[in-house]
Structure 1
């Protein structure tokens, strides 16, 4: 009888120990922290798994090219792999929604731009505001240039006017539709010139450039990473830029602004890395520090120089201030497109 009591006592003790071990193993519900728990790891353990950068635009465009280069330094400066995931469409809103639906644990960044907040809401119903994200650090300023194929004989704004005066409608490639910055600015340019023109949207900058190279459109808009080599090789002409003071591109030289050519249209865009605003301050700081280290890397700086660009390490406040200025400037352009 005593043996049976002893066996029962031992079994009860073993069951109690098992239950204690299970309750502390991390299985089932977490012990607090909600979406900031990072899968049960503490803030000091961040990051303990790969980080994803959601990219609103297609492969091969300027921001995609830069983001992928930044991601390649993940193991070196963040200690974990960083991957880029393209979610295109909706003038960037599909990617933004995906980023805001992801867990707010710091493992998802998104590349955003100003027009997602300064322009797109005027053309689409969006379910986000600037308060939903925290810009971590700038990526680049967007130096849009209007381009033509050298074989077309359209080498200047005056050539475009003469071409249109003959009854031709200019077909121009954009990297999106209404709500997209490139679409808006090149469309406004033709409105200001009084030239009949038809927009042909493409998924990304490289697709637009390919269309121009193949003679499928008369005009395209692009930024240095995608058009620079074509201009250096003599395949494309630069008609002008929306940057008020013009730009200097290595290997090309000075590209004048449209404002300098007497056309009242200007725009300075930007891309930047961001996370959900509810991500912990610790994770935000570590992600920002990671990108700062990449920007300081000599090999990365050479990579950017080869694209004819520099990284734009703007702070959260600087980015938000620029978005505010851009929102005000867009009020003069939006009515032209509606």
Structure 2
């Protein structure tokens, strides 16, 4: 009887150990990096996930998206890549995202103007109902910059003197009509009453490169692309469209155009989205993946070193901002028509 009891106890112990090992295996991938909580009930994702990027290499959203993608194996269990599809003020990328299968394997980095601004300048075949915002990426802090060594412009007053000398100001923008940077810097020159000519580029880094090279007099950019140039003294900040001004690490405070008496203000945003018809469980997996990256200390350090901060806006917050932006843009659109 005792021997039988021992055998039953041994069998029970072996069963408990087996279940314990199995449970551990369910929480950790073979390489010990990806947790099962990162996947949906049907095992999604099982293959590479693509982030469609409307803007070129090296710009703010591209830089952030590529860093997030590098955590794919760690937090999603599969590779994540970034695919740039530039042009058309973001509409080419939007078309690609809506043509992709609605299986959750394609995300897009979108911005507010794709819905609040671009449709006023271009015929588009999409609406806000075609996508579901998953989570915010960043709030966009556009700054207008000059190259004092090439143009002698370091302040708004010097910009006005430059124009008063009979010169037409050439300014670099990221994209053409319908793009937020193009619109806001064009509004600035309209408000100032200065002769200016837009020179569109595919991305923020391209615009800054043109300014550094002296091919344009003025450019617009966000902290990741201009920060080091300003810190070195090669470029100067004339102002920002953020109403309260901004504080940038290594540079200091940049005053707003509103503070300088110019009616031109704008707070932009970038965010991750998928087709609205993607299964809700898959949307949740992708959102949690990005949330996990945002919470990662190494990612937070990366963002801090770039002078940026991740914005974890929810679907509701993003849609609300797009609605507010649409109303605020009406006057600017009229001004530029």
Give the structure-2-normalised TM-score: 0.87
Partner residue, 2:181: 182
Q: Which residue of 2 aligns with 1:46?
A: 44
User: Which one of the candidate residues 120, 123, 130 is aligned to 1:132?
Assistant: 130
In 2, Cα distance between the equivalents of 1:43 and 1:102?
23
2-structure distance, mates of 1:217, 1:86: 25
How many pairs align?
A: 298
Alpha-carbon distance in 2 for matches of 1:226, 1:314: 23
Choose from 60, 64, 67 the match for 1:66.
64
Asked if residue 88 in structure 1 is aligned to residue 86 in structure 2, the reply is yes
Secondary structure of residue in 1 paired with 2:331: coil
- Superposed CA deviations along residues 88-141 of structure 1, whole A, max 9, x for unmatched, are 000000000100010001000000000000000000000100010000000001
- Please list the CA deviations of residues 54-83 of structure 1 after superposition, one character each: whole Å capped at 9, or x if unmatched: 000000010000000000000000000000
Is the CA contact (8 Å cut-off) linking 2:116 and 2:326 kept in structure 1? yes
**Partner residue, 1:311:** 310
Superposition map of 1:13-162 within 5 A? 43-151=41-149, 152-162=151-161
Note the C-alpha offset of 1:166. Answer: 1.2
1:138-169: CA deviation from partner (whole Å, max 9, x where unpaired) = 00011000000021221111111111111111
Superposition TM-score, scaled by structure 1 size: 0.87
Q: Deviations over 1:171-196 (max 9, x none)?
A: 00001110010000000000000000
Deviation at 1:42, TM superposition (A): 8.3
CA deviation profile, 1:261-308 (whole Å, cap 9, x unmatched): 000110000000000000001000000000000000000001000110
Q: Is the 8 A contact 1:173 1:220 kept in 2?
A: yes
Q: Residue 214 of structure 2 aligns with which residue?
A: 215
Residue pairs, 1:230-269, within 5 angstroms: 230-269=229-268
RMSD: 1.0
In structure 2, the residue corresponding to 1:313 is in which secondary structure?
A: coil
Moved over 6 A (4+): none
Give the 3-state SS of the residue equivalent to 1:141 in structure 2.
Answer: strand
Decide whether the 8 Å contact of 2:40 with 2:281 is kept in 1. Answer: no
Give 3-state SS (helix, strand or coil) of 1:211's partner. Answer: helix
Q: Is the 8 A contact 1:43 1:283 kept in 2?
A: no
Q: For 2:248 and 2:272, locate their aligned partners in 1 and report how far apart those are by CA, in whole Å.
A: 24
Q: Which runs of 5+ in 1 are unaligned?
A: 1-40
- The DSSP-based 3-state class of the residue aligned with 1:322 is helix
8 A contact 1:143–1:223 mirrored in 2: yes
Q: Quote the residue 1:8 is aligned against.
A: none
Secondary structure in structure 2 of the residue aligned to 1:199: strand
- Alpha-carbon displacement from aligned partner over 1:241-278 (angstroms, at most 9, x marks no partner): 00000000000010000000000110000000000000
Which residue of structure 2 lines up, in the alignment, with residue 20 of structure 1?
Answer: none
Structure 1 match to 2:31: none
Q: Which structure is larger by alpha-carbon Rg, 1 or 2?
A: 1
